[in-house]
Amino acid sequence: MHLEIKESSTNMKLRVLNIIVSLFITACTISSCLDSDVVEYEYSSNASITAFSITDSIITYYPAVVNGKDTTLSTAVVGSKYPFVINQHEGLIYNSDSLPVGTDVSKVVIGITADTQGIYIVAETDSLWEEKDSLDFKNPIQFKVLAENGSFGRTYTAKINVHQQEPDSLSWSKMASNFDKNIGKQKAVYANKNIYVFAEEESQVVMTCTPDGKDWSAPTPIDIPAKADYSSVMVWGDLFYILAENDLYTSSNGLNWEKVESTQKISRLIANIHTDNNHKILGIDSENYYIESENGMTWSRHEAMPSEFPTSQYSFVSYPLDTNDKLSKIILIGNNDIETDTTTVVWTQLNTENNWTELDIENKFFACPRLENSSLIHYNNHIYMFGGAGQHKGKIEAFEQFYVSKDDGISWEAITEKVMFPEEFRSLYEQANGNYSCVVDDQHFIWVMWSQTGEVWRGRINKLGFEKQ
C-alpha cells in the first residue's frame, strides 16, 4: 500500500511538470501568433512631379491695324498644344516649343501630376497648390511635393517660355564691316564657314573673304594665268571651281588655282549637285550642248540646249527631295535675250535626267517675275527669288519684296508681310549700280554684300535661330 501511494505521487509530479511545459509551449505559441498579427507600415518617401501641363486656353490681347485703324484684337492660345519637359535631374519644368509672341502668362491654370497629392508653391510662406489656381508665370514658379512619410522632395522650377520675336518674321541687321567699297560686279559663295566674294576688277578677278561678315581680307588677285569669269565661280564639294577662257580651274582656298586636266571646253558653268547620294557639276560646251561630270575631268555630252535657255546671270539651287533623299532637284533661273518677257522662265532637272525642263506656267499670274540681277535661294524649305526692278502685274521696284515658290518653282507669289527687306535696300541697290551678291550660311543667315558702299547686311527668319531647350 505504501508503495502504491509513492508511485502515485511520482506520477502526479510528472503530470504537473507536463502541464507546466505544455503551458509554456502554449504561451510561446500564442505569443508567436500575436506577434505575426502586428503590421508595421512604412510610408513612401517618393516625392516627385511626373506631369505638367497648361489646362486652359490663354486669351491674349494684342495691338493691330484693321482697315487703317489701330485696334486691339484677341486670340486664344490652346495650352494643351505646348507639351512640357520635366528634367528630374535638375528639377526644371519648361515648354520646349515657346508660346506665341505676346501671350499673356499672368493668369495660367495648370495641371500637375505627382507621386502624392501634397504639392506646394514655394514662397516666403509656402502654400498648398490647388487645381483651379490661376498663377502668374511672368517669372518662374517653384513647386515641391510632400511625400507620405512627411518629407519634402526636390524643389522644381517651372517656367513658361514665350517667344520674344515673331517666329516667322525675317529680322535684318547692318553689320559693322570693312568690306571694300571699290568692289564692283561680284559673286558670293559660302565654304569652310567663310563668306567668299569674287569680283571683277579691271582685267582680273579678286577675292575677299570673312568668317564673320565684319573683318574682310584685302581684295587679292586670284592666281590664274588666263582671264577668269568671276560670275562662273561655284563651290562643289570641298573645292572652288571657276572658268577661264573655256577651261576649268579648281582651288581649295579661292586664291591658288590649278587647271583641271581635261580636253573638254566649257563655255558656261550653270549648276551643281553635292549631297551624300549625288555629286555632279553641270555646264554647256562651246557648241551649246549640255554637259555634265562627276569629277570635273571626264564629261558626258547630251542634247543641245534649247534656244530659250538663259544665257547669263545664272542663279540656281539644288536640294534632295523630301519624299526621296536619293533624288536631287535643280531649280535654275537666269537672263535670256527676249527683252519683251515680263516673266522669268524657271528651268529644272532631276539628277537622274539628262535634259532640262522648262517650267512655263500657263497662268502667268502665278509666274516668276522677271527682275534685274535676280537671285535664287533655297531657304526655310522653300525657294525664294528677289532682285532689282522688274515688270510683272505692274512695275516692281528693286528689292521691293520676296517671291516664294512652295511647289519646286512651278508657281510664285509675292510675300507681303513678315519676310521683307529693309527699306534701305532700294537705295543701296541704286548706289551699287545694281551690283550685289548674296549667300546663305550654315546658321541660316542670309548675307547681302553691296558694291560701292561697303555695306554688309544679314537677316534670318527668327524661328531658324531658336534653340530647342
Does 217 lie in the same domain as 136? no
What is the secondary structure of 421-462 as a DSSP string?
Answer: --THHHHHHHHTTT-EEEEE-TTS-EEEEETTT--EEEEEEG
What's residue 16's pLDDT? 37
398 DSSP assignment: T
Number of domains in the chain: 2
Q: Is 4 contained in some domain? A: no
SS3 219: coil
- Long-range contacts, 384-390 (Cβ 8 Å, 24+): 384/419, 385/333, 385/344, 385/412, 386/421, 388/429, 388/434, 390/342
Q: Note if the pTM is more than 0.85.
A: no
Strands 141-146 and 152-158: antiparallel
Beta bridge partners of residue 389, listed in sequence order: none
Q: Is 376 contained in some domain? A: yes
Q: Is 34 contained in some domain? A: no
User: What is the Cα–Cα distance from 107 to 134, expressed in whole angstroms?
Assistant: 5
User: What is the Cα–Cα distance from 381 to 38, expressed in whole angstroms?
Assistant: 70
Does 145 lie in the same domain as 81? yes
Among residues 128, 158, 188, which one ends one of the domains? 158
Q: Is 322 contained in some domain? A: yes
Q: Residue 199 is placed in which grid cell?
A: 569680283
What's residue 1's pLDDT? 37
Does 254 lie in the same domain as 179? yes
Q: Which helix (H) or strand (E) holds 267?
A: strand 266-274
SS3 216: coil
Does 209 lie in the same domain as 105? no
What's residue 68's pLDDT? 65
Does 187 lie in the same domain as 148? no
Does 84 lie in the same domain as 192? no
User: What is the Cα–Cα distance from 198 to 244, expressed in whole angstroms?
Assistant: 14
What's residue 44's pLDDT? 66
Does 206 lie in the same domain as 140? no
Does 188 lie in the same domain as 230? yes
Q: Is 40 contained in some domain? A: no
Does 373 lie in the same domain as 227? yes
Does 176 lie in the same domain as 129? no
Query: Could you identify the residue written with the cell 559660302?
Result: 190
Among residues 105, 134, 158, which one ends one of the domains? 158
Q: Is 6 contained in some domain? A: no
CATH of the domain at 149: 2.60.40
Q: What does the pLDDT profile of the chain (469 residues) look like in tens digits? A: 343 434 444 444 434 334 343 444 444 444 444 444 555 556 667 899 999 999 999 988 777 666 667 788 888 999 999 999 999 999 999 999 899 888 999 999 999 999 887 999 999 889 999 998 899 999 999 999 999 888 898 999 999 999 888 889 999 999 999 999 999 999 999 999 999 999 999 889 999 999 999 999 999 999 999 999 999 999 999 999 999 999 999 999 999 999 999 999 999 999 999 999 999 999 999 999 999 999 999 999 999 999 889 888 899 999 999 999 999 999 999 877 666 677 888 999 999 998 999 998 878 889 999 899 999 999 999 999 999 998 777 789 999 999 999 999 999 999 999 999 999 999 999 999 999 999 999 999 999 999 999 999 999 999 898 865 5
For residues 171 and 186, the answer to whether their CB atoms sit within 8 Å is no
Q: Is 30 contained in some domain? A: no
Q: Is 310 contained in some domain? A: yes
CATH of the domain at 333: 2.120.10.10
Among residues 99, 132, 158, which one ends one of the domains? 158
Q: How many CB atoms lie within 10 A of CB 201?
A: 17
Does 247 lie in the same domain as 114? no
224: containing domain: 170-465
Q: Which helix (H) or strand (E) holds 365?
A: none
Does 412 lie in the same domain as 370? yes
